[in-house]
Structure 1
């Protein structure tokens, strides 16, 4: 005995490849499909519509197939409200809870499609209505007509789920909208089509990035820079500090190591014990990063060291002087760490999440771990640029689900100065 379900796909599903992926996923997962209706968009801006019946050997197999199709934007054809169940305990979600993608998502509640707020991958969907309680949960799958307020749907990581939260389960009543690639190949971020460019920084690409950063600043948006220590080692530190000072970078996300070596460069002229100008190894240079940490701890924090005049240049100095917020997320391998570094991993994750949700464009600069961490918190609609000399960093970011990112495999020490020249040197600026 087989079971089946009708699903629908709509949009630029041929150009984006989502229709072919759906067909392939059904067959690879042991199911079958029959196309019941297929209308091809015949002009540049026309969308394509596909309605198909999906068949599997069991309900469990069918659920697995529908989950995969849902990630590609397919929706169950029969419009029904999402299934909602209360969380049985803190940090415990119902069996078969819906695990989110990072794409714009809508949940059907009380007959209406509600946009999910602060969408993020690998989270639970929580439905909120004023007046809802655990006792109302048994009635949660029907319309709560007495409730005058509009329902909200938000995301929660599993450790934030509280007993009684109304959690969306299954695949019914959920619509996902993956980024599309219209036939003209354009868009507000023309080069952001996913993929990796293995070449030196091209002027045209940097011009586009600079234009986007200007637009973000003019519209009071937020540019988030995710920074690795290689920025300091390779000589890109001063250019990044200039971008912060001139208002082109609005927030910094980094680890303990980036801040330590930025401060070490100011105090001792070295980065990881190496003179960044002469490339010589000064006597006791290998101790400079520890001395730096000790000096900052002595003053209490980075801002207090700046106020005392101990730190007077560099990225962290410009952040303090220009009220640019930063999050330093610690790890098990950190020396010190600096007093400003968040050592509680959950607290650090929440701080990164808050930064990511506010960002309009993210520059991921020479750091694998922080790029993946921030990338996991970003919606797929956030414009993202990942730059690293190591191709594995760029490809791993894309493999982890940040398909919206454009990757450049190049020297960060060349990329950042070129970007700073484009943004900060009037003679280098081009009309948008």
Structure 2
């Protein structure tokens, strides 16, 4: 028997392509829709509203369609309180649990809408002490009150910004044809403004930063305060140390681009020397490590998470080999992040993207277009992609930030003069 239900859409649903996405999803799932009410905003700052009747071939089919539309941002007008069930065991979820998106989400409890904290994709919503928060399945405990179904839940997907910005939600794309110079300048401006306003900038990096000659530029960004946390793996730290100790990366002299004699051993020597010292911090304290990315993180108290993998040599004493523990520490570091800059690492970029809310401005730089494509395919639609050599990107970014600093310093005397005249 045919089943039907009304849904509502509100916001900038036309230029953010939310309404066409709803139409496409209903048709893809062999359902039907009817527009009951449609109000279009007359100006670019005005929101629009649509009320639709959705039809499915039976109740189960309709529920499947409504569930997908809900994840896009649609909601049923007669919003009820969220339905809750208790987890029967640790790491065991109630059947029919609600699986989160990375978009800002609200849940209705006792007639009031609560903002879900720690928003991230592929998690559960757990209610506790009058608040709602995302929890991954590995952190669910017996007795946790887990939201099930779609009732009493509202998802707010990103909308197209009203003004110009490189983080135009619908403009996110990957192309080597894009104007890299202007993009890097705009990225520098975004990073500079976040830094000046006391915001949080997280960098996710891979070993190619060192291989391609971008190490000194990233170290400079850390030193100047443009990095508030670094997420990476064993390889970036190992080759950063190798370059500091031996002037090579993977045994290649970065100045001459030639393999150094016995250079293939250098990364193992680097691991051995840090292990001999006890840790990266101890190596800095003992004068073994005197420069580079990790050195700057340590002397400037910038937290870092080095998440290990099955292919690691060593690894360094600072590398976290417990994957679940590494995930938790990464999630902690991306909390309240304003900008996340991901460079030359598919593994850690996708892992970090899964921890982020869609409201976090995300930049992914990689020579391989598929890295950014995979990141977006997994739901990090707010990312912009730059297909370029990270060894070219980082020095360019550092130079643009340096220019902004000089420009700001020149403006300061003029601003002080104006202030005195007043």
TM-score for both structures, normalised by structure 1: 0.91
Larger deviation, residues 184-193 vs 108-117: 184-193
Question: Equivalences for 1:13-412 in 2 at 5 Å?
Answer: 13-129=13-129, 151-182=130-161, 184=162, 186=164, 189=167, 193-199=171-177, 202-412=180-390
Distance in 2 separating the partners of 1:10 and 1:192: 17
Change (3 A) 1:73 1:171: same
Q: Is the 8 A contact 1:229 1:258 kept in 2?
A: yes
Cα displacement (A) at 1:45: 1.5
**Contact 1:114/1:153 (<8 A) preserved:** yes
Q: Which deviates more from structure 2 when the two are superposed, residues 403-412 or residues 77-86?
A: 77-86
Q: TM-score, normalised by structure 2?
A: 0.94
2:166–2:186 contact (8 Å) kept in structure 1: no
- Count matched residues: 410
Deviation per CA, 1:77-118, whole angstroms, max 9, x where unpaired? Answer: 112111111111110111110000000000011101111111
Report Cα offsets for 1:168-226 as digits up to 9, x if no partner.
111111100111115x5535846983112314863322222112222222222211110
Query: What is the deviation of 1:422?
Result: 1.3
Relative to 1, partners in 2 of residues 1:426 and 1:180: Cα closer, same or farther, differing over 3 Å?
closer
Change (3 A) 1:195 1:273: same
Q: Is the 8 A contact 2:160 2:168 kept in 1?
A: no
User: Residue in 2 aligned with 1:141?
Assistant: none
1:425 CA drift (Å): 4.6
Is the Cα–Cα contact under 8 Å of residues 192 and 406 in structure 1 kept in the other structure?
A: no
Distance 2:407 2:221 in 1: 14
Could you tell me how far apart the structure 1 residues matched to 2:168 and 2:20 are? Answer: 24
Mapped contact 1:192–1:383 kept (Cα < 8 A): no
The equivalent residue for 1:143 is none
CA RMSD, Structure 1 to Structure 2 (Å): 1.8
Alpha carbons of 1:187 and 1:417: their partners in 2 closer, same or farther (altered >3 Å)? closer
Structure 2: runs of 5 or more not aligned: 412-422
Contact 1:192 1:405 in 2 (8 A): no
Unaligned runs of 5+ in 1: 130-150
Q: Deviations over 1:271-307 (max 9, x none)?
A: 0111111011112111111111011111110000011
Once residues 322 and 252 of structure 2 are traced to their aligned partners in structure 1, the CA distance between those partners, rounded to angstroms, is: 31
Shift of 1:32: 1.3
SS class of match (1:197): coil
Please say if residues 308 and 319 of structure 2, whose CA atoms lie closer than 8 Å, have aligned partners that are also in contact. Answer: yes
